[in-house]
Amino acid sequence: MKENKELKEALELLEKEKDISKETLLEAIENSLIQACKTHFGKADNVKAIVDRETCNFSVYAEREVVEEVEDPVLQISLEDAREIDPHLGIGDIARVEIKSKEFGRIATQNAKNVILQKIREEERKVLFNQYYEKEKEVVTGVVQRYLGRNVSINLGKVDAMLNENEQVKGETFMPTERIKVYILEVKDTTKGPRILVSRTHPELVKRLFEAEVAEVKDGIVEIRSIAREAGSRTKMAVYSNDPNVDPVGACVGLNGARVNAVVEELRGEKIDIINWSDNSALLIENALSPAKVICVVANDDEKTAQVIVPDYQLSLAIGKEGQNARLAARLTGFKIDIKSETQARESGLLEEIGYEEGMEGEYDNYEDYVYDGAYEEGGEYPAEEEYAEDGYGGDGYDEGEYNGDEYDSGAQEQS
């Protein structure tokens, strides 16, 4: 039998352009033919439509019962007429009567066309949803379309995503056709196609950007154990190396800061601190408070609280501008951190209580490693201490208090 070249080529083109399987399209054609029969004859319970998978030729037939006297011409056929189709048919047998699709009226044909188009739209929507659902929790590049109120429409290629106001970095503005990277928060399936919500403020955006820039992170040699971020201002990131020969901080910073600078540029100048992760809570807290020098840390793993003592001249630097450095350190470590200067700790008797003496730097005492006394060591943290000073981290004023990661509980006394 001669193949239907036009239909076959059309199906292959649709499969290639819209990523809809040929089998799905063939099933849609079969259903459309049955629908056309239903419109033409009023019912189609006994109608079968078959499209040859190789040649794309199609045939439509009705299964009618052979009877002596026909009462329903749609479901029954006389013995005489049945014998013309197949001489071996008898009463009670089922005859296959071919239906000429060319005889369908305009309305029946239009309905068949609508069935096919509807199926194509459904499959196209399903393909788009699956394609972007697989990218959920990933970073993609989009093109800014336009502002919709305070929200921004971002084109991701085949579909538009929405960057809501609360997912935008404060102070960031975009121009139409500008290319930006966004983190896909959620992909929902709707009747109008996939609805995609994206973010520029999510901490995972920073993590995914480092995975793209740092081969060691992508390969799993270097792990990003924790991230604390105040979008548009500063991010702290704790990294750990599974290979003793690989420096995790150095790998993320890159030669002359090339890798971290690429991420900073994408985040439009947001400062990024990279510190070494430690399973020892006290050491981790000390690292998290960098670039401030720390005299000692008393950490309680059960209550998730920590007392930190810093030199008097480092207190402002440890707390940071508006408490940001300590607040990010608290979020990064998961500890509620109370920072005191050396003078305050002596006056309150805290130094004597923990058994600290001068000259104990770098040693662990008898508090089951909860207490770590050690001097701050410069070890590749980015940006350097001077950059904190430029940002006001060594400023004149600070508020004394505790930091629990979500809020700063200011004390009654403000020092200057």
Nearest-10 crossing angle of helices 324-333, 281-288? 150
The pLDDT assigned to 387 comes to 36
Taking the whole predicted model, whether its pTM rises above 0.75 is answered as no
Question: Band of the pLDDT at 357, cuts 50, 70, 90?
Answer: low
Q: Which of 269-273, 385-389, 403-407 bottoms out in mean pLDDT, i.e. has the lowest? A: 385-389
Q: Nearest 5 degrees, angle CA 157-CA 159-CA 161?
A: 105
Q: What would the pLDDT profile of 359-371 be if each residue is shown by its tens digit?
A: 444 333 333 333 3
Q: What would the pLDDT profile of 198-238 be if each residue is shown by its tens digit?
A: 999 999 999 999 999 999 999 999 999 999 999 999 999 99
Question: Band of the pLDDT at 2, cuts 50, 70, 90?
Answer: low
Residue 388 has pLDDT above 60, yes or no: no
What percentage of residues in the chain have a pLDDT greater than 90? 44
Amino acid at 88: H
The pLDDT assigned to 65 comes to 81
Q: What would the pLDDT profile of 95-113 be if each residue is shown by its tens digit?
A: 877 777 666 777 777 877 7
The pLDDT assigned to 99 comes to 76
Higher pLDDT, 56 or 199: 199
Question: Band of the pLDDT at 185, cuts 50, 70, 90?
Answer: very high
Mean pLDDT, rounded, for 59-80: 80
Mean pLDDT, rounded, for 389-394: 34
